[in-house]
A = this chain, B = another copy of it.
């Protein structure tokens, strides 16, 4: 099944997932689309996020993708079920795998979640966690400043650290939490800052690694593995907005040097 796998996000955040997919599944071909022009999705109306997500999906379906990975927590929270019900290919979000990773990691069953306003308000993580382990306790905190900061290329400055400290203040007053889910695929880009602020007693988890594992599992179950055994396929990266931060992240952080980067229009 030598067709590509589609990966979508509101912006650059999904590159954290693409990086893991590319590492764990080197014979697969990935096509990534980040809707940087309309980012952030976190504070937008649900109906707008649905429309934008469908536009991305329609764009990628032209490439005959065999599977869709929604590498965006907001779109997973608001559109996953619709996409699963209506697309003829397997669709994988990032929330289930993040929830499963937390269940594997927590010893105290006290789990924190940080994400965009939409993701936190949707309580999608709480539902995913409690469906599997009903007596788990959760604390969700929205961090609306993180995505705009990261999309602006600010990952390490003193200003970035102050924003992280301010956003996690409430979380820090709940010392019983032993596991923190980065419920937004942008956040692993500032994971060192988050870990510094939250302290060493809390395991900080992104869903990127486990989403790679989950995509691999589903490829096996649907017998969709690429039969072309050539490794290190070059990903295609599309964005609706500026190429600048993409360029920097793909080379400096994700070693995706050979990836092709291109600006596209969805409308």
Given the interface pairs A100-B217, A214-B217, the reply to whether A26 lies near B229 with Cβ below 8 Å is no
Chain B residue contacts of A220, Cβ below 8 A: 96
Chain A's interface size range is 20 to 34
- The quantity of this chain's copies bound in the complex is 2
For window 20-53 of chain A, which residues contact chain B by CB distance below 8 Å?
24-27
| CA–CA, A103 and B210, complex, Å | 12
Looking at chain A's contact residues, is the secondary structure mostly helix, strand, loop, or mixed?
helix
Chain B residue contacts of A13, Cβ below 8 A: none
For window 115-153 of chain A, which residues contact chain B by CB distance below 8 Å?
131-135
Chain B residue contacts of A134, Cβ below 8 A: 26-27, 229, 231
Q: Could you tell me if B212 and A135 are in contact, using CB atoms closer than 8 angstroms?
A: no
Q: Could you tell me if B104 and A225 are in contact, using CB atoms closer than 8 angstroms?
A: no
Mark A196-228 against chain B: 1 for CB-CB distance below 8 A, else 0: 000000000000011011101110110001000
| CA–CA, A210 and B218, complex, Å | 14
Q: Could you tell me if A24 and B216 are in contact, using CB atoms closer than 8 angstroms?
A: no
Mark A92-124 against chain B: 1 for CB-CB distance below 8 A, else 0: 000011001101100000000000000000000
Could you pull out 19 A-B pairs where Cβ atoms are within 8 angstroms? A24-B103, A24-B104, A24-B133, A26-B133, A26-B134, A26-B135, A27-B134, A96-B217, A96-B220, A97-B217, A100-B216, A103-B216, A104-B209, A132-B225, A134-B231, A135-B231, A210-B213, A217-B218, A221-B221
Question: What are the 5 A-B residue pairs with the smallest beta carbon separation, nearest first?
Answer: A134-B229, A217-B217, A100-B216, A214-B217, A24-B103
